[in-house]
Amino acid sequence: MSGEQKTFYLETFGCQMNAHDSEKVIGTLVQEGYRQVETVAEADLILYNTCSIRDKAEQKVFHRLADFKKLQAEGKKFGVLGCVAQQEGEKIFERAPHVSLVCGSASYRKLPQLLTQIESAETGSRKPEAGNPMRATGLDDRETDECFETEFTARTNPHRGYITIIEGCDKFCAYCVVPYTRGKERSRTSASVLAEARQMADLGYSEIQLLGQNVNSYRDPAGKKSFAELLAAVGEVPGIRRVRFTTSHPRDFGRDIIHAIDAVPALCDHVHLPVQSGSTRVLDAMQRLYTRDEYLERISWMKAAKRDIAITTDVIVGFPGETEAEFAATLSLLDDVGYDGVFSFKYSPRPNTPSLALDDAIPDAEKARRLDVLMARQREIQIARNKRYIGQRHEVMVEGKNTARNQWIGRTSQHKTLNFSAPDEINPRIGSYVNVKIIGSFPNSLLGQMVV
């Protein structure tokens, strides 16, 4: 390795927070002189940015590590980052002894140091640690105040990009690992968020997605702006045409957010508001801090908005003790709201969480059945919702081309995928905005023709 440029391969699992962390990790490593490569075979260092939200997600990284174990003999090094790293800590070294680095998201600033530590151990200039001569851990206390702000973010898309506004979560829903893997809530100042938004606009970005496990809990440490005010201010940055935000927690979702959407054209017509269950009893057991009616009240605010706001959600089926009637309450909630999209999951018991103490008695086959029923119901709702758009004109950001079908791929403000045809002589630029007339609809996408 010495003399030549060091290379790394990074695979990312999990949510947008992880995707964005990976962009920051890539930027940091490139600054350290590493080069990113596309395959494990070319890499000196193999990193996994992991997710632990459900058991299946967690298992993925251990499968990958097992698959590539033999490559250690070729001198390749392995590192585990992200939520599994934070959750399992040094136990990862026991389970996968070929791993050299375990680092949670609050310690990414230390990555350069940790990598030097591994390398110097390798060249013998440093005393080997017990067991493995090349191991380093960054598992900062989750009570940290640090946000992983870095000037070295390597964004993967030149047109739309993420900005983290708040890290961690203080909600402690009974089933969820996030408060344990990402620690307590820490907000960035509105000034630093706005500076990043302006910098991105200068670089040609036109779409920004504000990120946090719970963006509605945003508290400006400088006391200047509420979340809704920050949202509006980002939407007013010259050059920024679209602003999205995720994820919202119903408890803290204020009407001022809807007012901001109504007032600022750049804010997109889309709110993702995870409900988890339509039964107030189950919501209470989940410690979600709202009832079905309180949730529906927030939905009614959105429906009363001047803009046609698309609403999406997350649902968990088979939470311990969920009865058939309680599951039916979730189905009826889907009808009441008329969601534009639902991400649904089978309950998965997770380490450290309060609901681990509850009996996970609903068999997997029954959870799977409930999931199927829910998805089938939601599919019908989406078919009906998407039909409404036929005949309308929508502006899309051009995201790509499906050459096999000779169709362009765009996304509407409502976050719908809109595939469209354009006259042969017109080649819309990726990242540009065009108007499309909608002529057809499917459960998960729309079909249209570019208006010239």
Pairing outcome for strands 166-167 and 160-164: unpaired
Stretch that binds ligand SF4, among 133-141, 173-181, 195-203, 304-312 (CB under 6 A): 173-181
Closest CA to 276 of 245, 244, 313, 240: 313
409 touches which of ligand SAH, ligand SF4, ligand F3S, none (CB within 5 to 8 A by kind)? none
Cβ(313)–Cβ(381) below 8 Å: no
> Which is closer to ligand F3S, CB of 48 or CB of 78?
48
Identity of the residue, 17 or 311, whose beta carbon is nearer to ligand F3S in the bound complex: 17
Q: Which is nearer to ligand F3S, 316 or 446 (CB)?
A: 316
Q: Give residues with Cβ within 8 angstroms of 207, minimum separation 6.
A: 159, 160, 161, 240, 241, 242, 243, 244, 397
Cα end-to-end span (Å), the chain: 55
Report helix, strand or coil for 7.
strand
List, in sequence order, every beta strand (DSSP E) within 149-213.
160-164, 166-167, 186-187, 207-211
Quickly count: other Cβ atoms within 10 Å of residue 107's Cβ: 22
**Residue range at the interface with ligand F3S (CB under 6 A); choices 50-58, 145-153, 198-206, 357-365:** 50-58
175 near ligand SAH, rule: CB under 6 A? yes
Interface with ligand SAH includes 110 (CB under 6 A)?
no
Pick the binder of ligand SF4 from 96, 147, 169, 438 (CB under 6 A): 169
Which residues sit opposite 35 in a β-bridge? 7
Which residue in 8, 9, 18, 248 binds ligand F3S (CB under 6 A)? Answer: 18
SS3 label, residue 127: coil
Which among 189, 187, 234 has a CA at the least distance from the CA of 215?
187
Interacting span for ligand SF4 (CB under 6 A) from 41-49, 130-138, 175-183, 381-389:
175-183
Determine which residue in the list 64, 98, 244, 350 makes contact with ligand SAH, applying CB under 6 A: 350
Q: Does 182 bind ligand F3S (CB under 6 A)?
A: yes
Render 389-450 in DSSP notation, one character per residue: TTT-EEEEEEEEEETTTTEEEEEETT--EEEEE--TT--PPTT-EEEEEEEEE-SS-EEEEE
Stretch that binds ligand SAH, among 304-312, 332-340, 347-355, 416-424 (CB under 6 A): 347-355
Helices 255-263 and 227-235: crossing angle in degrees, nearest 10, is 10
Q: Could you tell me the smallest distance in angstroms from the CB atom of residue 54 to ligand SAH?
A: 5
Among 12, 49, 50, 213, binds ligand SAH (CB under 6 A): 213
For residue 436, the Cα-to-chain-centroid distance in whole angstroms is 28
Query: Given candidates 81, 178, 211, 240, which one binds ligand F3S under the rule CB under 6 A?
Result: 178
Peptide bond into 247 cis (omega under 30): yes
Output 256 or 314, the one with its CB closest to ligand SAH: 314
Under the criterion CB under 6 A, does residue 329 sit at the interface with ligand F3S? no
Which residue, 13 or 339, has its beta carbon nearer to ligand F3S?
A: 13
Work out how close the CB of 172 gets to ligand SF4 at its nearest, in angstroms, rounded to a whole number: 6
Minimum distance from CB of 298 to ligand SF4 (Å)? 15
Do 227 and 243 contact (CB within 8 A), yes or no?
A: no
Q: How far is the CB of 186 from ligand SF4 (least distance, A)?
A: 14
The reply to whether 442 sits near ligand SF4 by the rule CB under 6 A is no
| Residues 76-95, interacting with ligand F3S (CB under 6 A) | 82-83
317 in helix, strand or coil?
strand
Q: Is 14 in the site for ligand F3S (CB under 6 A)?
A: yes
List the one residue from 7, 8, 10, 15 that touches ligand F3S (CB under 6 A). Answer: 15
Q: Does 214 bind ligand SF4 (CB under 6 A)?
A: yes
Nearer to ligand SF4, 18 or 441 (CB): 18
Instruction: Report, in Å, the least distance between residue 102 CB and ligand F3S.
Output: 15
Helices assigned H by DSSP within 32-73 = 55-68
Binding residues for ligand F3S, rule: CB under 6 A, are 14-15, 17-18, 51-53, 82-83, 177-178, 181-182
